[in-house]
Amino acid sequence: MEILKFSSTNLSLALSNSYTSPEVISSKNHFIFLQNYLGSSGLQTKTILVEEDYVSKDYLHDYATYYALCFENYPKFCKRIHLFKSELQEEDLRNIVLEQQQNDDFWEDYLGFIVVKPIPFTVIGYTVLKTYNNGAGFNSRNFWGTREYRVHLFGNEIRFHSLAFQEQDSVLSACATTAIWSMLNKASLDYHTKLKSPNEITKDADRTSLDGSRLFPNKGLNVLQICKAIENSGLVSEVKPPDKAITHPEIGIKYLEVLTNNYARKLINAYSAIGIPIILVINVPNGDKYGLHAITVSGFKQRPPVPIIPKNEVSWLSDNIDKFYAHDDQWGPFARIEFENDYKIKTPWSDFHAQKNPTFITNIIVPLYPKVRISYEDIEFLVLGIDAILTLFFGDQLLHDLVWDVKIEYGNNFKTSVKQSDLDDDTKVDFLTRSLPKYLWVASCYIGNNKIFDFTFDATDIKSGMIGNSLLCYLPEIEPMLKQYLITNRSFLEQLFRHNSKKNYCDFLIENLKG
């Protein structure tokens, strides 16, 4: 074990190997990102601990598949560098090794590890680093796509939440493969889903590369191949296509189909509560050209609901998401990405581009468990109808606009939130003793920062069915009046639903309102 004081020089030295010098390391995007993420403005690392001759299961898969068959005698052992927030001396290390009981206070300063592979250039292997401060509430960084990892060192077990990362290996995997691999690190906690190595994921995608040549060395995956690899891991995919065409002659783009930021915010917010990281296909500036790239979204930061003056368009709480965090295999874990205007996003690709050219989202691929059959778009159609009904009902008394938050959640998790709510005890008991589907779509309606309704829908039903599940009102005094309004104006109001079961939806609302 070698102990190094954290610095740019020592970080490049620790990440180097016999094929890749510290000078080459210091020129990589990953080094630029990591010295900032780990440095004084990030995790505030003080010490690097270098563990030699580390056996990495992930690298061994790749080694057996490819590197062992090369004429060059590539080693099969890696090194693993550990990061600490405290200053560590040799005597401290000796004491920690010899301690009978685990010193939890000491391990609180453990920040994670980076595996360094013994191959040329693409050296960043299996990496698990702590996130910035994390919280599920508004105005907090909410890393919903992470899981607990257990790290063993010196006979101690350290546990913390993160999401595994590694650099794209251009031989065995491309950016999309690595994005899928990071996603599966979280999704594989479900027993239906298998965590596979990058080379297994690439094989699952197809038998040949995009241009018809052999699969290895890998040249990249298209959207269809990404979905095939996801399906072969036990999940299904919702593919969200572009919804706008733009031109940008000043940066060499004459015609480009993009996915608008408002739509992207809705989708990232909608599927976040299920906890599976989401894959974004983005168009990034690279020199004087643009190229497609895949990243894995695992968190965001969202402002709380605030009073909005009533407007003609429907208001969405997802519009309050101003940034999200993604694993970009060409930069690093939990890279901060900011929404700009209607369709531009700010990424490390833009920050470090000579002309600061923007990045664009072109597709979103949402991995889901197969039981989830109802999509976000199906629910939005219904929410638009409910919003129109409530807007007419409140009329001039509505001083602030209705704001909607639409998410898919586990039924049991939603029960927990109901249990902790301000609903009266009778309503809680009635709801908590119900049988619910495993997955629920929940459409929450706010006025200002006050929630007034939760509408739930069965996410496992068929699209043509009446998927309404329950209605919870946090302003019980309005329920009888709303129910009577629906009964009196039913023939008109049911036309506001763009759904085959619109009559059933009026029945659903009337039956679930008290009064």
pLDDT at 191: 63
Provide the angle, in degrees to the nearest 10, between the axes of the packed helices 376-394 and 479-488: 100
Closest CA to 15 of 111, 125, 99: 125
pLDDT at 216: 43
Q: Would the CA dihedral through 243, 247, 248, 252 be positive or negative?
A: positive
Query: Could you give phi then psi for residue 142, rounded to 5 degrees?
Result: -110, 95
Q: Give the C-alpha separation, 122 to 342, whole Å.
A: 35
Q: Where are the domains of the chain?
A: 2-130, 235-368, 376-512
Helix and strand element counts for the chain (H, E): 17, 22
Q: Give the C-alpha separation, 425 to 300, whole Å.
A: 34
Widest distance between CA atoms in the chain = 82
Q: What angle do CA 364, 370, 372 make, to 5 degrees?
A: 75
The CATH fold assigned to 235-368 is Cathepsin B; Chain A (3.90.70)
Provide the angle, in degrees to the nearest 10, between the axes of the packed helices 502-512 and 376-394: 60
Q: Give the C-alpha separation, 300 to 337, whole Å.
A: 9
In order along its 515 residues, the chain shows pLDDT tens digits of 899 999 999 999 999 999 999 999 999 999 999 999 999 889 999 999 999 999 998 888 888 888 899 999 999 999 999 999 999 888 888 888 888 777 778 889 999 999 999 999 999 999 999 999 877 777 789 999 999 999 999 888 999 999 999 998 655 456 789 999 999 999 998 767 888 888 888 888 875 555 555 444 445 688 898 999 999 999 999 999 998 888 877 677 778 899 999 999 999 999 999 999 999 999 998 877 888 899 999 999 998 888 889 888 999 999 999 999 999 999 999 999 999 989 999 999 988 877 888 899 999 999 999 999 999 999 999 999 999 999 999 998 888 999 999 999 999 999 999 999 999 999 999 999 999 999 999 999 999 889 999 999 999 998 878 889 999 999 999 999 999 999 999 999 988 887 777 788 888 999 999 87
CA 48 to chain centre: 29
CA distances from 438 to 145, 302, 367, 372, 461 (A): 19, 26, 17, 9, 11
Q: Give the C-alpha separation, 15 to 79, whole Å.
A: 9
pLDDT at 8: 96
Q: Give the C-alpha separation, 217 to 215, whole Å.
A: 6
Closest CA to 271 of 170, 368, 143: 368
End-to-end CA distance of the chain: 71
Instruction: Name the amino acid, one letter, at 11.
Output: L
Token pair listed for 241:
């296509």
**Contact in structure between 363 and 239 (CB atoms under 8 Å):** yes
Q: Give the C-alpha separation, 327 to 185, whole Å.
A: 12
**Contact in structure between 123 and 171 (CB atoms under 8 Å):** no
Peptide bond into 304 cis (omega under 30): no
Closest CA to 167 of 205, 132, 119, 200: 119
Q: Give the C-alpha separation, 53 to 77, whole Å.
A: 5
Query: What pTM does this model have?
Result: 0.91
Strand order in the sheet with 78-84: 2-5, 47-54, 78-84, 110-116, 124-129
What is the 3-state secondary structure of 205-268? HCCCCCCCCCCCCCCCCCHHHHHHHHHCCCCEEEEECCCEEEEEHHHCEEEEEECCHHHHHHHH
**Contact in structure between 182 and 164 (CB atoms under 8 Å):** yes
Query: Could you give phi then psi for residue 356, rounded to 5 degrees?
Result: 55, 35
Residue 301 exposure: Cα atoms within 13 Å on the Cβ side: 15
pLDDT at 212: 56
Q: Give the C-alpha separation, 318 to 270, whole Å.
A: 8
